[in-house]
Amino acid sequence: MSPLKAFQEALRQSPENIPLLLLYGRACLEELQMEDAVSAYEKAVELDSRHTDAQLGLARALLLSGDASGAAVRAELVLQQDPLCAAAHLMLSRVHLAEGDKTRARHHFNRAAQLDSSALDVGLEKDLGQTLLDARKAQQSNSGNGAADGKEGASEGGFGSDGGSDLDDEVFMDEPPYDWRPETFWMPGDPERERLSFEDIGGLESVKEEIRRKIVYPLQQPELHRAYGRPVGGAMLFYGPPGCGKTLLLRAVAGEAQCNYLSVGLHEIFDPYFGSTERNLHQMFETARFNAPCVLVIDGLDSLAQDRRQVRESQLRNVVNQLLHEMDALRVGNHRVLVLAATSQPWSLDPALCRPGRFEQSIFVPPPDEKAREVILRELAEEKPLGHVDYKALVKATEGFSGADLRWVMDRAAELTLGEAMAKGHGAPITGALLLKVAEEHQPTTRDWFEGMRSVESEAVTERSWMTSEVKKFAERSAKR
């Protein structure tokens, strides 16, 4: 009987024997039976998610079968339980090396060496071009630096002659200063959050209903949803042309869903220092996890989540990878965190971000409908001297206009009226007729957006189509105008 067969036989007798599962998993790896290895370790993890060897075995099997980010998630779970686990750092080192990121690989390698001098991995050492001894030496000189001559400037020691590994440790401190603050953090009952709710947003009824169904109700009655096998938490992407209310809707979710609400401006997360952006991202997710159940809002995802293939060599790639890790960790850990993000360029997102378990669900936010346009126009009108306006006609004339387009119409009409007033020497209100005329001559910017989407989707073979039947409907309407 082959060794694998023997294990299978034994497992039939005691299918929940974790040590046996681990032995079988290792035997499968040795026989290059990756799939079987993964399922054996998965079974073990299912039985005991806090079992370090099971998690790390699974990480190894995943890495060997090409799923580096899955492997990273497992290693990070172990580190969450036990930050001093050298083996988990070695695993992360291998993951980063597999992803071509030697700097981070070396960082974790150093960390492992620091934690456990017997944590040896000769193959990894060779690949990293660095011996364990070097790692330890670098470390000793590091702590020597800090203790002996503080005033000579740690930066000189860090960035100076003795190079590589020193720099790494500077960059990846374990307890970094927390130098960003969430834009918004609200707990239930906070009076601030009630200021904006769906009532304040005109029209868009079907979008609101979708948000209630997918976001608000599940958070309100998680048990009920779970009983029916419906997910609570996860991630959702809002997309649509710019200026059509995505940011507004994200903000209004706070007024609708009574749970912790954390919103972060990406400008606060970005940091020019190498590695700091990733760390900030991690802290942001940690904060959300710590405050679960929580809605975590990331607006303007465009700037962060570009296609990794376009930014292969740059720092942004690490940031995207970090975001992928964080989202996987959320899913695996079954944390009650709902991530909401918005972008007006969904096609430029890294495809990996849209795979199952990440932003697999999305909500299209179309240009404002008639009701929404009337609300926006009336709001804009409050700021200007206006004569009689036939809102019905104006609303009809502005089909496909974004909030920004409507503002442009108002501003342009005000400018023309002002010019005339100056010529005549006396003022006059902006007329409804002028507003109509300006609107009819204006080409809404959303049209470019729909055309852009159409051409992207016809040119490139994208993994996922954003041109749903609903989007198509709006695109056709906008093309007719």
Ligand X SMILES: Nc1ncnc2c1ncn2[C@@H]1O[C@H](COP(=O)(O)OP(=O)(O)O)[C@@H](O)[C@H]1O
Does residue 293 have a cis peptide bond before it, meaning omega lies within 30 degrees of 0?
Answer: yes
For residue 242, state whether it binds ligand X (rule: CB under 6 A).
Answer: yes
Nearer to ligand X, 109 or 198 (CB): 198
CB contact at 8 A, 252 and 342: no
Q: How far is the CB of 239 from Mg ion (least distance, A)?
A: 11
Nearer to ligand X, 24 or 401 (CB): 401
- Give which of Mg ion, ligand X, none residue 202 binds (C-beta under 5 to 8 Å, depending on kind): ligand X
Q: How far is the CB of 369 from ligand X (least distance, A)?
A: 8
Among 376, 397, 409, 435, binds ligand X (CB under 6 A): 376
Compute CA 374 distance to the chain's CA centroid, rounded to the nearest angstrom.
34
Q: Going residue by residue from 198 to 217, which x/- string records binding to ligand X, judged by CB under 6 A?
A: ---xxxx-------------
Q: How far is the CB of 272 from ligand X (least distance, A)?
A: 26
The two tokens of residue 90 are: 């070695």
Number of neighbouring beta carbons within 10 Å of residue 384? 14
The two tokens of residue 467 are: 């041109």
CA distance 427 to 258: 49
Among 165, 247, 263, 322, binds ligand X (CB under 6 A): 247
- Phi and psi at 285, nearest 5°, equal -70, -40
Q: How far is the CB of 408 from Mg ion (least distance, A)?
A: 17
List, in order, residues 6 or more apart from 378 with CB less than 8 Å away.
Answer: 391
Number of neighbouring beta carbons within 10 Å of residue 266? 21
Q: Going residue by residue from 1 to 20, which x/- string records binding to Mg ion, judged by CB under 5 A?
A: --------------------
- Give which of ligand X, Mg ion, none residue 104 binds (C-beta under 5 to 8 Å, depending on kind): none
Site for Mg ion in 191-250 (CB under 5 A): 246-247
Q: How far is the CB of 247 from Mg ion (least distance, A)?
A: 3
Among 234, 243, 275, 444, binds ligand X (CB under 6 A): 243
Q: With CB under 6 A, what is the number of residues at the site for ligand X?
A: 16
Q: With CB under 5 A, what is the number of residues at the site for Mg ion?
A: 2
Q: Going residue by residue from 399 to 438, which x/- string records binding to ligand X, judged by CB under 6 A?
A: ----x-----------------------------------
Among 88, 124, 252, 372, binds ligand X (CB under 6 A): 372
Among 18, 171, 292, 375, binds ligand X (CB under 6 A): 375
Q: How far is the CB of 248 from ligand X (least distance, A)?
A: 4
Q: Which residue has the tokens 């079974």?
A: 43
CA distance 77 to 391: 57
Q: How far is the CB of 159 from ligand X (least distance, A)?
A: 40
For residue 176, state whether it binds ligand X (rule: CB under 6 A).
Answer: no
For residue 368, state whether it binds ligand X (rule: CB under 6 A).
Answer: yes
The two tokens of residue 250 are: 């994200």
Nearer to ligand X, 244 or 341 (CB): 244
Closest CA to 357 of 211, 216, 237, 235: 235
- Phi and psi at 47, nearest 5°, equal -70, -35
For residue 345, state whether it binds Mg ion (rule: CB under 5 A).
Answer: no
- CA–CA distance from 313 to each of 48, 99, 318, 324, 391 (Å)? 39, 11, 9, 17, 52
List, in order, residues 6 or more apart from 451 with CB less than 8 Å away.
Answer: 479
Helix, strand or coil for residue 296? Answer: strand
For residue 244, state whether it binds ligand X (rule: CB under 6 A).
Answer: yes
The per-residue DSSP string of 267-284 comes to HHH--SSTTHHHHHHHHH
Give pairs for 474-477: CB < 8 Å, separation 24+: 474/366, 474/367, 474/400, 474/450, 475/450, 477/399, 477/400
Site for Mg ion in 242-261 (CB under 5 A): 246-247
Among 43, 107, 111, 246, binds ligand X (CB under 6 A): 246
Q: How far is the CB of 203 from ligand X (least distance, A)?
A: 6
**Which H helix or E strand runs over 338?**
strand 337-343
CB contact at 8 A, 424 and 416: no
User: Using CB under 6 A as the criterion, which residues of the chain lie in contact with ligand X when the complex forms?
Assistant: 201-204, 242-248, 368, 372, 375-376, 403
User: Using CB under 5 A as the criterion, which residues of the chain lie in contact with Mg ion when the complex forms?
Assistant: 246-247
